[in-house]
Structure 1
Amino acid sequence: MTTPTYDIEQTAMADGFLRIAGVDEVGRGPLAGPVVAAAVILNPVDIPQGLNDSKKLTAKRRAALDAAIREQADFAVAEATVAEIDEHNILRASHLAMERAVAALNPPPDYLLIDGNMIPRGLSIPAQAVVKGDARSVSIAAASILAKNWRDQVMVDLAQQHPGYGWESNAGYPTKMHREALRNLGVTPHHRRSFKPVHNILYQE
């Protein structure tokens, strides 16, 4: 199994860039909650050990790495709301969250590594799209860890306000329990109305 490296960052450094940020988002698939993005600039001489795609890490390992990233790197986390997801679409909303995370980095980065195959249109900094970036670049992996931990905590908090949907364990993804709760308990203000399973329940009458 390949683990992410600092190779892509070093190539950018060889081209003269100094502050290289990895950018990733979490939460395109859920039926509820915001989409969250993070941007991380690692210190090349002090990179936390064990960085990997957040989906490949245990919750305990993610929490430990989250703390290490916050201590050793420059970072920012940002959201796009459910209203923005419904107004634009999930892709544009995830790009908005990425743009906000990048804009919140201070001092700003001079080069971006964006997870995926598209560069958000609102970014003016030189950028490179990296497909499966969280498995290839430690900077993107670090961003995926911060974004996932942040979003999971948001959903745990929302679960206390809206019990029964299982958000504390499913993070808003369309599990069997979540879909059944949608049918039985109805739609909350935190559900994405533009997503088909939610839309269908709202308009089945």
Structure 2
Amino acid sequence: MTETLTRSRTTAPSLRIERRLLRDGATALACLDEVGRGALCGPVTIGVVVVTADAKPAPVGVRDSKLLSPKARTALVPRIQRWAAAWGVGHASPAEIDDYGIIAALRLAGQRALDGLAITPDAVLLDGNHDYLSPPVQGTLFDDGPVLPEPVCPVPPVTTMVKADMTCAAVAAASVLAKTTRDAMLLELAAEFPEYGWQENKGYASAEHVAALRRLGPTAHHRRSWRLPGVDLPPTL
């Protein structure tokens, strides 16, 4: 079952929506957000933070990760990990994105994040307006087609909410975990492939990244099934 909520006008994230879902019957609510969906290379990554009815207010400073500096995000990570009832991060690789498509890859990453939790949640709050986490229904708009990855774990009922990372503190906290984890991975890869500027652009289509693609072609870490700018059947580095 999937429910969709509309965005609140509250400017600072709080646990108001999370507490409402917990009052509606959930005992452990998993709150998820993704990063890397629109990048040209690297994994798609999903963070998850679990809250329960006795959750204290989120650590001061928790916001959608896009609104925070790298230093602020990094400082929040241990505080979020101590605060959450459970937390996790899951990834789907560029090869899996190429093999299955981005929607199925998001589902893989999200299920991997859920599967690694120390607590089994009984409800999910997912940022966005599409439940990519649950298995698709054949013949619908989001049917992934005949080639699908195997489910990693059962998925509890999902509630989606547009811009939940701006409104819901636990979703914002999940976005911080996802962003800091994926950024660290791209920083490591940047040391091996410095020409692409991943230490700054984190795999997105910056001018430096596009220029390197035109000059050098894609690496094994690029999403080669995508229409990469300036690339026509290049070799893999």
CA RMSD of aligned residues (A): 1.7
Letter aligned with residue 231 of structure 2: I
The one of 6, 15, 25 aligned to 2:34 = 25
For 1:192, the equivalent position in structure 2 comes to 223
The one of 108, 118, 133 aligned to 2:120 = 108
| Structure with higher helix content | 1
The one of 22, 47, 59 aligned to 2:70 = 59
Distance 1:169 1:6 in 2: 32
Contact 1:187 1:202 in 2 (8 A): no
Contact 2:126 2:159 in 1 (8 A): yes
Distance 1:69 1:105 in 2: 15
Contact 1:28 1:91 in 2 (8 A): no
Q: Does residue 45 of structure 1 match 2:75?
A: no
Q: Which runs of 5+ in 2 are unaligned?
A: 1-9, 136-153
For 1:16, the equivalent position in structure 2 comes to 25
1:115-130 residue pairs with structure 2 within 5 A?
A: 115-119=127-131, 120-122=133-135, 123-130=154-161
Larger deviation: 21-30 or 37-46?
37-46
For 2:147, the equivalent position in structure 1 comes to none
1:147-166 residue pairs with structure 2 within 5 A?
A: 147-166=178-197
Q: Does residue 182 of structure 1 match 2:213?
A: yes
Q: Which runs of 5+ in 1 are unaligned?
A: none
1:193 Cα deviation from its structure 2 partner: 0.5
Deviations 1:92-143 (A, max 9, x none): 2122111111121122111110011122224530220111110011111011
Distance 2:226 2:57 in 1: 42
Distance 1:118 1:163 in 2: 36
1:202 Cα deviation from its structure 2 partner: 3.7
Larger deviation: 91-100 or 22-31?
91-100
Distance 1:99 1:57 in 2: 26
Distance 1:50 1:89 in 2: 35
The one of 66, 79, 84 aligned to 1:68 = 79
For 1:2, the equivalent position in structure 2 comes to 11
TM-score by length of 2: 0.81
1:37 Cα deviation from its structure 2 partner: 0.6
1:46 Cα deviation from its structure 2 partner: 5.3
Q: Does residue 78 of structure 1 match 2:90?
A: yes
Contact 2:217 2:234 in 1 (8 A): no
Distance 2:113 2:128 in 1: 16
Letter aligned with residue 76 of structure 1: G
Larger deviation: 137-146 or 46-55?
46-55
For 1:139, the equivalent position in structure 2 comes to 170
